[in-house]
């Protein structure tokens, strides 16, 4: 099957990687780098997510992501509010990327993927398994370590490390 007849090649593939990214970690960046190679365009979409109170503002989270993905031509940073499936439609995309760290992620992620399928027939979730060295890593863990002045240099890019220091100045 050539590019013209294979339906997968008819349109550029646009994938959306949604999340809180509060803040972006090397675990997220691993998923971003790997999925940017698989799709024509990757949109990292920062969620306003009203159920969590973020440490970083929307603007800060986007800036940190922009800085960390500067070298990737086909990666765009955006934000969205409300249902992910509505955002997908707006962006003319149908692929959702999510990272899986451990079995504990699985149940919730499967529930979300099924819900999105129910809400939009076209939506397809692709799960990408974490690289083993980041399997324990989450934004919450990073914030917890930074709060008590622990070292986060191996877990986040330098700009994020600096931004965390600025958020917790009293303990540095
Ligand atoms: P959310 O609040 O939507 O879970 P996060 O910013 O915490 O947003 O995570 C966004 C996505 O990145 C999720 O799919 C999450 O499983 C994945 N992710 C987070 N940390 C890692 C990691 N260390 N390795 C692989 N995937 C990860």
pLDDT classification of 172: cutoffs 50, 70, 90? very low
Contacts 24+ apart (CB under 8 A), 7-14: 12/40, 12/41, 13/38, 13/39, 13/40, 13/41, 13/95, 14/39, 14/40, 14/41, 14/42, 14/43, 14/91, 14/92, 14/93, 14/94, 14/95
Q: For position 52, what pLDDT does the model report?
A: 77
Q: Mean pLDDT for the chain?
A: 92
Q: For position 5, what pLDDT does the model report?
A: 60
Q: Would the pLDDT of 159 be above 70?
A: yes
Q: For position 105, what pLDDT does the model report?
A: 83
Q: For position 2, what pLDDT does the model report?
A: 57
CA angle 141, 26, 169 (to 5 degrees): 55
Average pLDDT, integer, range 144-159: 95
pLDDT classification of 72: cutoffs 50, 70, 90? very high
Residue that the structure tokens 């700009």 belong to: 159
* Parallel, antiparallel or unpaired: strands 75-80 and 41-47: parallel
Summarised one tens digit per residue, pLDDT across range 16-60 is 999 999 999 999 999 999 999 999 999 999 999 777 799 999 999
Query: Backbone dihedral region of 82: left (phi > 0), alpha (psi from -120 to 50 degrees) or beta?
Result: left
pLDDT classification of 102: cutoffs 50, 70, 90? confident
CB 119 within 8 A of CB 85: yes
Summarised one tens digit per residue, pLDDT across range 35-46 is 999 999 999 999
Residue nearest to atom 21 of ligand 1 (CA): 27
- Residue ranges covered by each domain of the chain: 14-136
CB 138 within 8 A of CB 38: no
Residues with CB under 6 A from ligand 1: 19-21, 25, 27-28, 31, 98-99, 101, 105, 130, 134, 137-139
Q: Which CATH superfamily does the domain covering 14-136 fall into?
A: HUPs (3.40.50.620)
Q: For position 49, what pLDDT does the model report?
A: 77
Q: Would the pLDDT of 129 be above 70?
A: yes
14, β-bridge pairs? 41
List CB contacts of 6: < 8 A, sequence separation 6 or more. Answer: none
Q: Would the pLDDT of 107 be above 50?
A: yes
Query: Which among 9, 10, 52, 90 is annotated as catalytic?
Result: 52
Higher pLDDT among residues 172 and 76, named by residue: 76
Annotated active-site residue 101? The verdict is yes
Q: For position 110, what pLDDT does the model report?
A: 94
Would you tell me how many other CB atoms lie within 10 Å of the CB of residue 43?
22
Annotated active-site residue 33? The verdict is no
Query: Which among 33, 89, 98, 101 is annotated as catalytic?
Result: 101
């Amino acid at each position: 099957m050539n590019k013209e007849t294979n339906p997968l090649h008819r349109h550029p593939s646009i994938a959306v990687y949604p999340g809180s990214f509060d803040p972006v970690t090397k675990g997220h960046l691993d998923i971003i780098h790997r999925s940017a190679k698989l799709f024509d365009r990757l949109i990292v979409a920062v969620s306003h997510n009203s159920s969590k109170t973020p440490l970083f503002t929307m603007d800060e989270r986007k800036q940190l992501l922009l800085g960390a993905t500067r070298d990737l031509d086909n990666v765009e940073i955006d934000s969205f509010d409300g249902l992910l499936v509505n955002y997908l439609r707006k962006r003319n995309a149908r692929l959702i990327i999510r990272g899986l760290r451990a079995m504990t992620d699985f149940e919730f992620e499967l529930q979300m993927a099924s819900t999105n399928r129910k809400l939009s027939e076209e939506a397809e979730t692709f799960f990408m398994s974490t690289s083993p060295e980041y399997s324990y890593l989450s934004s919450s863990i990073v914030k917890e370590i930074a709060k008590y002045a622990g070292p986060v240099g191996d877990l986040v890019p330098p700009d994020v490390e600096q931004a965390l220091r600025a958020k917790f100045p009293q303990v540095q």
